[in-house]
Structure formats: C-alpha cells, structure tokens
Chains A and B, each alone.
Chain A
Amino acid sequence: MRQVDVAVVGGGPAGIAAAIASAEIGASTILIDEHANIGGQLRWRIGLTLKDTGGLDVEPGPGLVVADALAGRLSQFDNLTILTGTVAWGLFDDNVIGISNDSEADEIKPDSVILATGSTDIALPFPGWTLPGVMTARAAQTFMHVHRVLPGRTWVILGDGEEADELQGDLERAGVDVIARSANPDDIRASGTNRLTHVEIGADVYEADALAIALGRQPDAELALHAQAKSAFVSDLGGFTVHRDESGRTSEPGVFIAGDAAGIGSLGEVIAEGRLAGLSAAGASATSLDAARKTLEEISSDRRKNAIANLWTIGTGV
C-alpha cells in the first residue's frame, strides 16, 4: 500500500490540471491513467482546440500539441508519480484505491482522491446495433487517431449534435465517406449477415460498412458511486451526476470529482475545475483558491454554473 497526499484518477485535461495544481504546492501526488499515454480525450478527439487554458500555464492550441506540452510539464515534478497503463478499479473505505496493471495489483491510500475519469459515449439500442461495424463515436475516433486504422470506408452517423459534427469532420479528414446522418435512434435499422452491410433510415436504404453512434457523452463516475457518493440525474450535465460543489467536493470526505466525470463540459471548464479541485484537495492557500475560483467563474457557462449550484437541492438520486 502506497501513502500519498493526493491521488488523481484519470490523466485527461481535468486530471492533468488537478495533478499539476496539487504537485505545484508541494503535495505528494499520484496520477493514474489506464491508457499508455496521458492526455485523455485530447488523444482521440483530435479536432479539439484549447482556447481557454483554465488557469493552466500552457499555450492555447491544438489538443494534441497541448497534451504533449502538459505531459512534459508533469514530468518536471519530483513529488509527482505518473502510473500509466494502470486501472483504478475500486474506491474503498478511507479512500483506499485498488489499482492494477498487466502484471501486478496494489493499493493506494491518499488523504484525498480526485476522480477525473471523464466520460462514456451514450449508446442507445436500435435494431442491428450489435452487428460488427456498428460502434460508438469514441471507438471510431480511438481506432482512427490512436491506433491508425479505419473501422470502415462508408459511414452513416447516428446523431445530430456537436459530437456528430465533430465525428463527421474526423471521418472526412481520414478520407472516408459519410453518406447519411440520422438524428433519431427510433428510426434507424442496421442489417447484415455477419457484419454491417446496410443501414435503413426511414424508407431509405444505404450500403454502408460502418455506423457510428454519436449521441453525446455522459459522466463516467463509477468510482464515486462505488464510494457511495450522492448523485442525481441532471440533463444539463450529461446524465447521472455526482453531487459536488464548485471545488469538486462530493458527499464523501476526501473524495473530489472534476471534469467531464462531474458533468460534461468544455475543455476550459474541465481544466479550470480540475485545477480548483487539485488546489482544494492539496490544501492550497485561500489566495490561490480564490484565484482559481475566479478563473473558473469567468470560464464556466451560466448553464453549468446553475446546474452545479442546484445539485445539492435536487435530492438524492441513485
């Protein structure tokens, strides 16, 4: 069992911001990420550009460039340990975190834990949704951008929001065809013998070898729920959302949550929240906390602020 001041689970934008904030003020910090490289969504959502830096000392720019810059920053702290390829699979009494990688398992005992576990794609079922060739937008992005393989050549997209637009841009950049889009999961049917060959939208039939579900993302807060943190369904934050204040404090002592895991947000919002959670968890001075709060206040949309402010008054969900 390893003892640390602060453990951060998830090395995306929010988790990186939290880990840097915690390490900057001298707290012994561990950052845990299941992927081979830290960066989180910046590694697969490559169309993203960082405009607001959320109080992080980094140049705005393309997400991938920012991810590399942040990885460089993290490596400069002697009091920060980065565990990549490591899954945090449970959050137990006294905030003990169960972790494992390919070869071993261990436990971490932090004074505070910050959950920055990101989001999961929303996948609504429809006829044929289990056929090979039908996948989430994130699967398509991960295989194209991280693994450099095309899941298909002729695509249909289910979804009409920002995620669908983003994926269409990704597919066009990869040089493949998007032949149709449907906004309605009740009006789409995938078919094929052993894999996808056709998609029906209403009365129209398309020949396609790939269908991406791009209906948006929902907070991935399983560890907080494992720790029995209170939660509720808040559509403005993307679904089941853990009760927390602007600093990310949940109903459970020493358990913080930040970023998309605490409510789907913009890059600037999740970074600013991660930074504030990191400073709070590590016991920063009132001056630093006020500055980080001010940055978050400036960046956050009114919708997000209102949804977070109301969280504690909604009542307990699951």
Chain B
Amino acid sequence: MSDSRHSEPDQSRRIHEHPLLGELETADMVNITVDGQQLQARSGEPIAAALMANGIDICRAMPESGESRGVFCGVGRCSDCLMTVDAVLNVRTCVTPVYDGMRIETQHGLGTWLDGQP
C-alpha cells in the first residue's frame, strides 16, 4: 500500500461550528508525524481524532489478510484502531491523547518492537 492517502491533508472534517455545541474552542496545536509525514493536531485530542481531522481513516493492517482496520467502537473497547506510537505497539488511538512530537505509525500485523522482535 502506498502512502498516497497522506498526500492531501484534508482539515475540512473538523467541526468548527455546531448548532448545539457552538464554536470550537481554540486549542494549542501540536506537531505529530504519521508514517513520516508531519501533521498538526489539537493538543490533548485522541490520536484517532487528529488523524481523522487530517483525512486518515486507516490505523492498521491485519496480520494475515492485510485488511485495513480503523475506528470502530471509538471508545477504547474493540482494539480496531491500534497503531504503533513512539515505538510502542498496540496503542488504542481512540483513547490516547496526542502530544507534541509524537511519532505514529500504521501498524502492520502485530508490529515490530525496536529490537526487531515481532
């Protein structure tokens, strides 16, 4: 799979105005990298929300079939949105907040630890 889905960051999925919730409060923006590409996120938002706001819906590929997985339950139960974050495998991106300098990678299968062990 190429990284073409990262080529056109689409920040228009952010909900700036909402009839019941009002205007989105301003937040400090932080820099994160996703598969090497630098993106902006609202400080403290979950990784998966930052990715979605940047047009990225795919979190990982299944170990054997290679099928994509993304946010499913959205609340930390189902483990579909696991990614590799700062070299830690299987991070639940829907409930883990971003911070400045975070390095996020699409996880392929069970992922690979820094020491090369699967």
Contacts and interface: CB of A to CB of B under 8 A. Distances in A.
Interface of A: 34, 46-47, 62, 64, 120-121, 123, 130-136, 138-140, 142-145, 147-151, 153, 173-174, 194-195
Interface string B69-100: 11111111100100000000000001100000
A61 to B, nearest CB: 12
B68 A150 contact: no
The B interface, classified by DSSP as helix, strand, loop or mixed, is loop
Contact of B75 (A64, A130, A142, A150): A142
A145 B68 CA distance: 25
Contacts of B77: 120
B73 A135 contact: yes
A61 B53 CA distance: 31
14 contacts: A46-B21, A130-B69, A130-B72, A132-B70, A135-B71, A140-B74, A143-B52, A145-B21, A148-B16, A148-B24, A150-B52, A151-B52, A173-B19, A194-B58
Contacts of B67: 130-131
Question: Which 8 A-B residue pairings sit nearest by Cβ, starting from the closest?
Answer: A139-B74, A132-B70, A147-B49, A132-B57, A150-B13, A148-B15, A194-B68, A149-B52
Nearest to B60: A132
A176 B71 CA distance: 19
Contacts of A174: 15, 18
B15 A149 contact: yes
Interface residues of B, number: 34
Given A147-B45, A173-B19, A142 B14 contact: no
Contacts of A130: 67, 69, 72, 80
A173 B17 CA distance: 10
Contacts, number: 97
A130 B79 CA distance: 12
Interface of B: 1, 5, 13-16, 18-21, 24, 45-46, 48-49, 52-53, 57-59, 67-77, 80, 94-95
B72 A139 contact: yes
A177 B77 CA distance: 28
B70 A133 contact: yes
B91 to A, nearest CB: 12
A190 to B, nearest CB: 12
Contact of A34 (B68, B74, B76): B76
Nearest to B54: A149
B18 to A, nearest CB: 7
B57 A133 contact: yes
B49 A143 contact: yes
Nearest to B52: A149
Contacts of B1: 194
Contacts of B75: 138-139, 142
Contact of A123 (B52, B73, B94): B73
A121 B45 CA distance: 23
A80 B19 CA distance: 35
